[in-house]
Structure 1
Amino acid sequence: MDIVSDVGSILICIDLAMFLHFNKSIAALKMKDPSQQPSVQVSTLEKVTRRLGHLGIMLILCGWIVPKL
């Protein structure tokens, strides 16, 4: 079960890294031209990493909490 929770932690870290990178790139676009607000298009890569982050949360729940019940 430790391996399951470790994989979940890694997936959450990947999701967090992509989230921070995406927010940084959006902030840079807003700084270049604040009068023109770009419509935020969520890329397929970010959708996939967000789902992987949710899977990581579920793996952590299964790896830590369920065995204690």
Structure 2
Amino acid sequence: MSKILIRISYKNACILKHALRDNVVEKEEWINANRDGVFNTLDSEVKELEEEQRALKAITVEIDRNKERCHM
């Protein structure tokens, strides 16, 4: 996977993290509410959710790793 270096403020990083977290929670709730429906349509949503969960974990780790430098 390619990597990109983006410099943003700590505040903006946290805003992005929280927006992604809220999106993941919303998508999890939607998928759980529609489990009784057609599973073929949920496959793409579940894959997208898994990607977003990985992204959320990665950004959380990165923010935590760099937090000390930001609060000097």
TM-score tier by shorter-chain length is 0.5 to 0.7
> Which AA in structure 2 matches 1:6?
I
Q: State which drifts further: 17-26 or 52-61.
A: 52-61
* Higher relative contact order, chain-length normalized (CA < 8 Å, sep 6+): 1
Question: Alignment identity in percent?
Answer: 5
Distance 2:11 2:60 in 1: 9
Which has more radius of gyration? 1
| Equivalent residue pairs, number | 58
Distance 2:17 2:57 in 1: 6
**Map of 1:57 onto structure 2:** 57
Structure 1 pair 49/17, CA: closer, same or farther in 2 (3 Å)? same
Distance 1:3 1:44 in 2: 29
5+ unaligned residues in a row in structure 2: which ranges?
A: 1-9
Structure 1 runs of 4+ aligned residues shifted over 4 Å read none
RMSD: 2.5
What's the CA shift string for 1:17-63, capped at 9, x where partnerless?
Answer: 1111111122xx38xxxxxxx8x554212311321122122212212
